Amino acid sequence: MLNIFTLASGRLFQEEIESLEELAKFKPIWVDLENPSDEEMRWIEQYYGVSIPHDAIDEDIEESARFYEGDDGELHIRSDFLVADFDEPGMERVAFILNQNKPELKNYNILFSIHDETVPVFRLTRMRARRMPGLISDAKELLLKLFDADIEYSADTLEEIHVELERVSGQVLKGDVTDDVAGEVLATIARQEDMNGRIRRNATDTRRAVSFMMRSRMLNDEQFAEARQIMRDIDSLDSHTTFLFDKINFLMDATVGFININQNKIIKLFSVASVALLPPTLVASLYGMNFRFMPELDWKYGYLWAIGLMVASALLPMWYFRRRGWLK
């Protein structure tokens, strides 16, 4: 899908493009290629003269080759953006291409982005740029706004994680945690831990991208100050993810502890039963020996005596265990 965005009266507008010839009607600030076809890729390369690498969104590309300046002066940035779907969380690799060195080219001051799936941050940035005049002035600022929105999106997701962990914490700290509840709690904790880890990775990736923009000296003073603010926000995000990791570990340990307590209760029950049945077993073993002279064998009430002795020998330990509180 080919999405063309122009800047008019300080607002971002999307234009409909159905053919190569229609590209000449607009001077875009952003060309977004979402899962583009070969024809759409050819249109962009042919009209704007931009060279899109065949491995632009390749997941296996080396980390050191994700941020570089091409021979033609184009900046190439490959960055991952968070997709905060708790059922199917993920990271979407986006390749950016930006020419800020050659005003004579058609691709000057146009941000090109290539990706496979929809990126929530892009939708959020487009909505803000339509509602807030003057939010974006050029392609560099647009790229900064995308990274800023990504960090804000991650912060919102962290708040959702914190709320969910507070709910789970209430369940665990009640103390009455059955095995079924513990299973649900562990599944929830695992999902939140996975999302928290993705946010940590996303923040690290965004820090590298913004740092590259700052080193490339492409930003003016105002944009450089904005980039520094993004870096401070990332530091705050890292601190909060560390706090959540600690909370997750605590809840995990507490839940596993309750599972162990439940298992110990079962083991204690079997242990008490084994000890209580040991004296009757001993009595039965004594009277099962084949000695020739055993007075109780010829006694009229010998059988009842043996049964009563076994019952008494079983009840006596149970009474003792109950008195000590071991059966609670």
List of domains in the chain: 2-260 (no CATH), 265-324 (1.20.58)
- pLDDT reported for residue 61: 58
Q: How many CA atoms lie within 13 A of 176 on its CB side?
A: 0
pTM (global) more than 0.85: no
Distance of CA 302 to the CA centre of its chain: 72
* pLDDT of 125 over the 70 cut: yes
- pLDDT reported for residue 56: 57
Which of the two residues, 58 and 240, has the higher pLDDT score? 240
Task: Record the tokens describing residue 6, joined without a space.
Answer: 């122009």
Residue 29's nearest CA partner among 118, 194, 140 is: 140
Burial of 309 (0-12, 13-18, 19+ CB in 10 A): middle
Fill in the amino acid letter for 140: K
* pLDDT of 293 over the 80 cut: no
DSSP-assigned letter for residue 62: -
- Calculate the alpha carbon distances from 53 to 32, 41, 86, 99 in Å: 15, 11, 32, 15
CA distance 227 to 230: 5
**What is the rounded average pLDDT of the residues 251-276?**
81
Task: Record the tokens describing residue 33, joined without a space.
Answer: 């290629």
Q: What phi-psi label fits residue 112: left (phi over 0), alpha (psi between -120 and 50 degrees) or beta?
A: beta
Which of 96-100, 174-178, 270-274 has the lowest average pLDDT?
174-178
* pLDDT of 233 over the 60 cut: yes
Residue 139's nearest CA partner among 101, 82, 91 is: 101
Distance of CA 124 to the CA centre of its chain: 20
Fill in the amino acid letter for 113: S
- Calculate the alpha carbon distances from 39 to 2, 24, 51, 115, 118 in Å: 10, 17, 14, 16, 20
* pLDDT of 64 over the 70 cut: no
Task: Record the tokens describing residue 97, joined without a space.
Answer: 């291409």
- pLDDT reported for residue 173: 78
CA distance 20 to 39: 9
CA distance 207 to 151: 10
Give the model's confidence band at 160: pLDDT under 50 very low, under 70 low, under 90 confident, else very high: very high
